[in-house]
Amino acid sequence: MAIVQSAPAAAGDRRRLVLDSPVDRHRIDEVEVSTADDVAAAVARARAAQPAWAARPVAERAAILRSAIDVLVARRDEIIATVRAETGKPQTEALAVEIVPSCDFLAFWTHRAPRDLKPHRQPLHGYLKPTKKLFVHYQALGVVGVITPWNGPFVLSLNPVVQALLAGNTAVLKPSEVTPRSGEWAVKILHEAGVPADVVQVVHGDGETGAALVAAEIDKVCFTGSVGTGRKIAAACAERLLPCTLELGGKDAMIVCADADLDRAAAGAVYLSMFNTGQVCMSVERIYVVDSVADEFIRLVSKRAAEVTYGPGDTDMGPLFWDRQMDIVAKHVDDAKAKGADIVVGGAPAAGNGLYFQPTVVVDANHDMEIMTEETFGPIAAIMRVRDEEEAIRMANDSQYGLSGSVFTKDADKARRIAAQLHTGSVVHNDASVIYGVPEAPFGGRKNSGLGHVNGLDALRGFTHPLPILIDRWQPKQESIWYPYSDKTIRSLEMVIKHGFGNKLLRRLLS
């Protein structure tokens, strides 16, 4: 992402941030920081606009948002240019990571929302069934604060905002300070599609602005970012009993079984650990390969990694998006080398002025090394030999993170058996990372990787309060349990217990 520094300011001037390119460090932008008062004003406008937006039928809101697909398709070159200026991503990755899934999310959610958010009747069981009817309505929460990261700045801003708006909320977006214009595009295309200005707004700034948004009079926080910041947000939300969704860091494991297609597994290991320069929460960060096939797998991975092109221009891999990330990646590689790992490809920052790190393959890694335990977020394929699949499962579960994982095997049933034993948010067979692009999948982390889901039915409905409404079928003057109590009341309850629950056949019918 862009390199960010505070701009010198005279006394009384508004704080500003300057952005330099990660490709060659030339100045690309300057952003005015939104103050706490600015954030509060944006939230107040969103609060005022929310009832009218929520009053529109879901199908009407969906139709407006669906038209954003046409805007996105028409403006894609401008969006890509902004993303590439701030991150240095290759054209292919800007299209594949940002544009294609954004179009798909818009199409999917706008198609599903009228059905998934429609009030519906919920069947009842047991003794209440003859006398009551249950309906569930989905009420908007109000104003949602959305805070998004720098590694997928457009798509990771658009996806939660679209879900929040479809559910009848208004939204205030705070994109990362180092990819501010990329995130801002999500709001621009929605406005152009017809979403009213105050229904979705953007505020800019760093952690100070994000903290102001969390502290404002909002009704939910949706955050994607680091574990440390996520913990602070969770604590702030807990003080107010404010719901939050947190999609945090990952240290995703890839298991290579003895029967894997090694050509595919090697190609996947390189690509899935290095695309987007390894800066994907679901990147492959740990590879466990069964010892019987490890030599050949390492040979194939090393060959493919050595062929990855990087640097400015038309290459496979762009720069690290953030200057501070360079120090973390280099530190992890150096720590692994010092503790006995072998760096067989790459292993160092590339020469030049940009934030480029060589595609790197680390072998003979182990869990004494930071590269296997801490989130690296760089173009590193770190490989550890294991005795068998059982050891691979144990090592994969030996992590503070639990976002996603992958299993490479020709046996789909085996993949499911192994996946069922992994303590992670999701598992992919013979692939990885793509799970975020499957909106039907309830995507979310375990352990330090977060709370809640950012995709799946739970995610969309998570922007609502499911309101149960219990309707009386026959409207008698009063219920049998109401005052005054009598012997008849007790006999009626005893009959329910004895015959309704004491009789196995009736108990089954009432379940």
Catalytic residues: 247, 281
Q: Which of 39, 30, 40 is nearest to 2 (CA)?
A: 30
SS3 392: helix
Ramachandran category for residue 430: left, alpha or beta (phi over 0 → left; psi -120 to 50 → alpha):
left
Of 146, 190, 138, the C-alpha closest to 171 is 146
Taking the C-alpha atoms of residue 47 and residue 336, their distance in angstroms, rounded to an integer, is: 51
What Cα–Cα distance (Å) separates residue 508 from each residue in 122, 130, 131, 481? 19, 16, 19, 24
Residues 6+ apart with CB under 8 A from 74: none
Task: State which amino acid sits at residue 225.
Answer: G
The closest alpha carbon to 343, from 328, 317, 365, 373, belongs to 365
Which ranges in 88-179 belong to alpha helices (H)?
91-93, 100-116, 155-166
Which DSSP state fits 321?
Answer: S
Cβ neighbours around 337 below 10 Å, total: 15
Distance CA 100, CA 432 (A): 17
Cα distance between residue 466 and residue 464, in whole Å? 6
Q: Burial-class residue 144 by CB neighbours within 10 Å (0-12, 13-18, 19+).
A: buried
